């Protein structure tokens, strides 16, 4: 099963000033196309922090998805960080710079700076905003603004879809985890590779546990769901 690492960049995320939605959205979309997420993280707007993450995860995962830090303000350092991670310089992509100047006639040179990409990058068009995204080796860099990120991800989604979708089965039980854990352990043993999750809550109605099974094998998922449901629905 192909894997992906997701990185969100921004001081506003690591400080808690802004709630992350990009990571959750990307993880859900990646599962639909059969890509398992191995890590989902946020780092501040610091070149070294971003570069360290990329250096580590680009060799572990099949794909790395990065969002944020592509604007033109001092805290937008993602292009520089990716260049540092891959040990390359930056160069202006002429046709991209000219297209940005043509679109942003009120301040063309400010916009043209967005075309200074790490050497070896491939541009990803931003149809809704300004700063373009880019890809370098197996790393795909998208804007932090959700509406722009989402439409740009859809343009590259087909390149990442190399495996069957990861399906899921969910059911909530009025129980404590300790009361159902044996069934969940047996499910993992019976169905190798099956992902088993249990998420407890405690409210006025008493303890509840949501059980989640995931697999890219449809037959395995159906069989596992039947086993768990038979054991716990009685």
Q: Tell me: the pLDDT tens digits for 185-229? A: 999 999 999 999 999 999 888 899 999 999 999 999 999 999 999
The Cα–Cα gap between 164 and 45 comes to: 35
Pairing of β 133-136 and β 122-124? antiparallel
Q: What tens digit of pLDDT does each residue of 7-47 get? A: 999 999 999 999 999 999 999 999 999 999 999 999 999 99
Angle at 101 between CA 98 and CA 105, to 5 degrees: 155
Averaged pLDDT of the chain: 93
Residue 136 CB contacts under 8 Å (≥ 6 apart), including other chains: 82, 86, 117, 118, 120, 121, 122
In this predicted structure, the answer to whether residue 129 has a pLDDT above a threshold of 80 is no
Question: CA-to-CA distance for 10 and 78, rounded, in angstroms?
Answer: 10
Report whether 47 contacts 77 (CB < 8 A): yes
User: CA 42, CA 58: separation in Å to the nearest integer?
Assistant: 16
**Distance (Å, whole) CA 140 – CA 220:** 32
The token duo for 173 is 């039980």
Predicted confidence at residue 188, as pLDDT, reads 94
Q: What is the pLDDT of residue 113?
A: 86
């Amino acid at each position: 099963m192909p894997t992906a690492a997701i990185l969100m960049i921004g001081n506003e995320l690591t400080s808690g000033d802004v709630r992350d939605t990009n990571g959750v959205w990307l993880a859900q979309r990646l599962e639909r196309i059969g890509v398992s997420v191995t890590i989902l993280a946020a780092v501040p707007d610091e070149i070294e922090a971003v570069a360290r993450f990329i250096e580590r995860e680009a060799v572990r995962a099949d794909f790395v998805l990065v969002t944020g830090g592509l604007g033109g303000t001092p805290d937008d350092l993602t292009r520089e960080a990716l260049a540092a991670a891959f040990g390359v310089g930056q160069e202006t992509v002429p046709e991209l710079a000219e297209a940005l100047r043509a679109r942003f006639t009120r301040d063309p040179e400010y916009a043209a700076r967005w075309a200074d990409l790490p050497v070896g990058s491939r541009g990803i068009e931003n149809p809704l905003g300004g700063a373009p995204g880019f890809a370098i080796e197996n790393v795909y860099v998208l804007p932090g603004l959700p509406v722009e990120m989402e439409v740009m991800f859809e343009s590259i989604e087909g390149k990442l879809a190399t495996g069957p979708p990861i399906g899921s089965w969910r059911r909530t039980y009025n129980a404590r985890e300790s009361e159902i854990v044996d069934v969940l352990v047996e499910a993992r043993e019976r169905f190798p590779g099956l992902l088993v999750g249990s998420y407890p809550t405690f409210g006025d109605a008493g303890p509840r546990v949501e059980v989640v099974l995931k697999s890219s094998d449809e037959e395995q998922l159906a069989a596992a769901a039947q086993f768990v449901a038979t054991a716990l629905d009685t």
